Each structure stands twice: as structure tokens, then as C-alpha cells.
Structure 1
Amino acid sequence: MRDKKDNATIDLPGFGPPPAAPAVLEQDAEPKRRVRVRKVALKQVQLELLEPTDATGLPVWTRDAGLDLSGLPIWAPDKQA
């Protein structure tokens, strides 16, 4: 619920209306234009990847002796002495 005495804060020092701005004595005939500074974009560099890639950017598929064609490891049978 709102307090009915909220408008009493206007009576406190520092909460009054702001002081009037000083009047402008002279006005320039032409307004000064700001010079636009052009932002220079950083040059992009292609990073070299650890593995060779194809045209799509994916790693080139290589055959590994320890993996089957689906990429799962080939389990060797346990040798029992």
C-alpha cells in the first residue's frame, strides 16, 4: 500500500527541481559536424588444424588397424598361457 506522505520528499534538500541551465549567449551559424571514425575490422586468419580436412572441413577418414569399419575397437581374444 502506498504511503500518503510520499510527496513530502520534495520538501527535503536536494530533491527539488534541478537548477535552470545557463542561457546560450551565441549560437553558431552552422552546427559542427562530428567526424565519423571508420572501424577497421580485424583480419581473419585460417587456422591450421591438427588433422587434414576435406572440402567440408571435416577430418579426412583414415583406416586404423585397431578399429573396424564402423569405428568400434577390434577386441583381440585373451591369450591364456
Structure 2
Amino acid sequence: MIARVRAGESEAYAELVRAHAETAHRLALLLGAGAEAEDVVQNAFIKAYRALGGFRDGAAFRPWLLRIVANETKNTVRAAAR
């Protein structure tokens, strides 16, 4: 699937989003994003898309994406606390 995205198939990335959006949203909520969870997930998917060039071939996409979601959530929660 990643190879298809890198080849320019936008529908392939849409499939990845559909497959992982619910899990990513739940993680953002669990980590404290609250009402910002949808924005956190959307930003995480955008960052993941932009970073696909550095994604290792053969690596699992889900843990990589969820790490991005976790980092984005942490940044959002930290910014809200300021």
C-alpha cells in the first residue's frame, strides 16, 4: 500500500486513512486530546503523508502512524496548558 501511495495513488492513502483513523482517534482521546482529537488525528495523517519518503520499506505502518499521533497529541496538550 505504501508503494502505491509513493507512486502517486491518492486513493491508496485514503484507504490507509480509513483503515487507521478510528484507532488513531481513540489513541488521541486516551492521551488527553479531548475535543481536539479530530484535529490531532488530521494533523498526524498530514505529517505522516509528508514523511512517507522516509518510511522504511517493510516496516509496519500502524505503529509508525500511532507514534506520530502520540507526539501530535502531546504537543497539542502541552500547548493548551500554556
- State whether TM-score is above 0.5: no
TM-score by length of 2: 0.18
TM-score by length of 1: 0.18
Q: In proportion to residue count, which structure has more helix? A: 2
CA radius of gyration, larger in: 1
Which structure has the higher relative contact order (CA within 8 Å, separation 6+)?
2
